[in-house]
C-alpha cells in the first residue's frame, strides 16, 4: 500500500446527511483485521439509523459487503491477499469511524469475514454478513438453541415462529432454526409465501388478515420461541398473543423490546430479549450522546465460533442468501437507494449494489 493512497466512501457529514467523499484516508491495518477491495454492497435499515442519529459525524457507513482481500493484519490466520470473501462490518462506528463497508477499500474483522463460495455471486454473498451474525446471536447465545448439526433430527426441537419471515433476517433465521431442529412457522405477505416455504417454514400466516392469530392457534402447537424481525408495537402485541400461554422466549431483533409485548406478557415465564449485533465485534462502541456499550468478550468468543459454522453452512448450501435485487451505479446510486428504503422498504429481497 502506498502511504499516499486514499479511498472513496459514504461518510456521515452530520446527523441526517451522508455524502460520498473521495480522498478519505486508507484504513489502518489492525492486527485482527484485513483490508479488502470491495465488489458489492448490500443495504440494511441500520444504515439509515446511523446516518440519522447513531453515528455522530465522520464515520463511514455500511455493514454488508463482499470483495477481495488485499492485506491481512498480524493476527489474521484464515485469510491471505487475493482471497475472495464477504462479511459484515460495523458501519457508522463512532469509535472506529473507518470501519464502514460502503467504500472502495474497506477494513473487515477476521471473525466477521467468510470465504465466498464460487457458486455465489459477489452480490449474493454481500447480502449475507449482517443476517448471519444477527441470526447466530439470537438463536444461540440468546435463545440457547443447539448449534446447527446434521445430527439433530428434524422437528425434534422447539416450535419457533419467525415474525417477518420474509425479511432479510427472517429468511436466514428460518433456515438456521430448521438446522437446529426447530419446527418453524413464519408470518409474511402472501406474495412472499413461496420464499419463506422455500427456506423451510412449515406453514406461513398472512399477518394482514384480521384472524391470522386464530389461524396460528388452530395449528394447535405451543409456539415457545419467537424471533420478531419487525419489532414494532404492533408486532410485539401480535407476538404476545402468539407465544404459548405457558411462556417461552420472545426476541425482538429491533431494539428495544416493544412495550406492547412486555405489557401483555409481564410474567417471568415469558422471556423477552433484544440484542445488538455490533456486540459480536467484541469492541467497545457508542451511539454518541445516546448510549455506550462496553466490549463483550463472551459475545466475541461466540462470534469467532459462529463465523466458522456460518461459513460452512453457506458453502454447503444449507443456508441460502435472501433474494437480491442487483442495482448498478455503485456508491452514488446506493446513496439514492438509502433514501428510497426510508419510505419504500424492500419486500422479500435485499437491495445490492455492484461496485461501479
Residues that bind ligand NAP (CB under 6 A): 44-46, 130, 134, 164, 166-169, 188-189, 192, 207, 229-232, 235, 253-255, 275-277, 345-348
CB of 116 to ligand NAP, least distance (A): 20
Name, in order, each residue with C-beta under 8 angstroms of 287's C-beta and a sequence gap of 6 or more: 53, 54, 55, 94
Q: Which is nearer to ligand NAP, 46 or 103 (CB)?
A: 46
CB of 226 to ligand NAP, least distance (A): 13
Q: Which is nearer to ligand NAP, 41 or 79 (CB)?
A: 41
CB of 6 to ligand NAP, least distance (A): 30
CB of 351 to ligand NAP, least distance (A): 9
Q: Which is nearer to ligand NAP, 24 or 114 (CB)?
A: 114
Q: Which is nearer to ligand NAP, 38 or 46 (CB)?
A: 46
Q: How many CA atoms lie within 13 A of 1 on its CB side?
A: 20
Cβ neighbour number for residue 74 with a 10 Å cutoff: 9
Q: Which is nearer to ligand NAP, 62 or 348 (CB)?
A: 348
The C-alpha atoms of residue 270 and residue 268 are separated, in whole angstroms, by: 5
Q: Are 293 and 279 in contact (CB under 8 A)?
A: yes
Which CA distances in Å does 77 have to 73, 74, 162, 164? Answer: 9, 8, 36, 37
Q: What are phi and psi of 324, to 5 degrees?
A: -110, 145
Q: Are 115 and 24 in contact (CB under 8 A)?
A: no
CB of 281 to ligand NAP, least distance (A): 11
The C-alpha atoms of residue 341 and residue 51 are separated, in whole angstroms, by: 13
The C-alpha atoms of residue 128 and residue 126 are separated, in whole angstroms, by: 6
Q: Which is nearer to ligand NAP, 186 or 309 (CB)?
A: 186
CB of 187 to ligand NAP, least distance (A): 6
Q: Which is nearer to ligand NAP, 7 or 254 (CB)?
A: 254
Which residue blocks in the chain are alpha helix, DSSP H? Answer: 45-49, 122-126, 129-137, 168-179, 193-198, 212-219, 233-242, 259-264, 297-315, 330-343
CB of 141 to ligand NAP, least distance (A): 13
Count helices and strands in the chain by DSSP H and E runs: 10, 17
Amino acid at each position: 500500500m502506498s502511504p499516499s493512497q486514499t479511498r472513496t466512501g459514504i461518510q456521515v457529514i452530520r446527523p441526517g446527511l451522508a455524502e460520498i467523499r473521495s480522498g478519505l484516508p486508507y484504513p489502518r491495518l489492525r492486527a485482527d483485521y484485513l483490508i479488502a477491495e470491495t465488489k458489492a454492497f448490500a443495504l440494511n435499515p441500520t444504515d439509515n439509523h446511523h446516518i440519522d442519529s447513531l453515528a455522530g459525524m465522520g464515520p463511514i457507513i455500511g455493514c454488508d459487503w463482499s470483495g477481495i482481500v488485499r492485506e491481512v493484519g498480524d493476527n489474521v490466520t484464515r485469510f491471505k491477499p487475493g482471497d475472495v470473501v464477504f462479511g459484515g462490518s460495523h458501519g457508522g462506528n463512532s469509535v472506529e469511524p473507518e470501519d464502514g463497508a460502503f467504500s472502495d477499500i474497506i477494513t473487515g474483522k477476521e471473525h466477521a469475514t467468510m470465504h465466498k463460495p464460487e457458486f455465489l455471486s459477489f452480490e449474493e454473498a454481500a447480502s449475507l454478513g449482517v443476517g448471519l451474525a444477527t441470526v447466530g446471536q439470537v438463536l444461540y447465545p440468546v435463545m440457547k438453541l443447539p448449534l446447527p448439526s446434521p445430527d439433530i433430527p428434524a422437528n425434534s426441537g422447539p416450535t419457533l415462529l419467525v415474525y417477518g419471515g420474509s425479511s432479510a433476517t427472517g429468511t436466514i433465521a428460518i433456515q438456521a432454526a430448521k438446522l437446529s431442529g426447530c419446527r418453524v412457522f413464519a408470518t409474511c405477505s402472501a406474495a412472499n409465501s413461496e420464499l419463506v416455504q422455500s427456506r423451510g417454514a412449515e406453514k406461513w400466516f398472512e399477518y394482514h388478515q384480521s384472524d391470522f392469530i386464530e389461524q396460528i392457534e388452530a395449528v394447535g402447537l405451543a409456539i415457545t420461541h419467537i424471533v420478531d424481525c419487525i419489532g414494532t408495537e404492533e408486532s410485539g402485541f401480535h407476538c404476545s398473543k402468539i407465544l404459548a400461554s405457558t411462556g417461552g422466549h420472545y426476541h425482538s431483533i429491533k431494539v428495544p423490546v416493544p412495550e406492547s409485548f412486555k405489557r401483555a406478557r409481564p410474567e417471568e415465564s415469558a422471556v423477552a430479549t433484544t440484542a445488538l449485533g455490533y456486540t459480536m465485534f467484541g469492541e467497545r462502541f457508542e451511539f454518541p450522546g445516546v448510549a455506550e456499550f462496553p466490549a463483550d468478550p463472551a459475545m466475541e468468543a461466540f462470534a469467532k465460533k459462529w463465523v466458522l459454522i456460518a461459513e460452512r453452512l453457506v458453502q454447503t448450501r444449507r443456508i441460502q442468501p435472501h433474494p437480491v435485487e442487483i442495482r448498478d451505479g455503485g456508491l452514488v446510486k446506493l446513496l439514492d437507494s438509502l433514501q428510497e428504503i426510508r419510505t419504500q422498504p424492500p419486500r422479500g429481497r435485499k437491495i445490492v449494489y455492484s461496485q461501479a
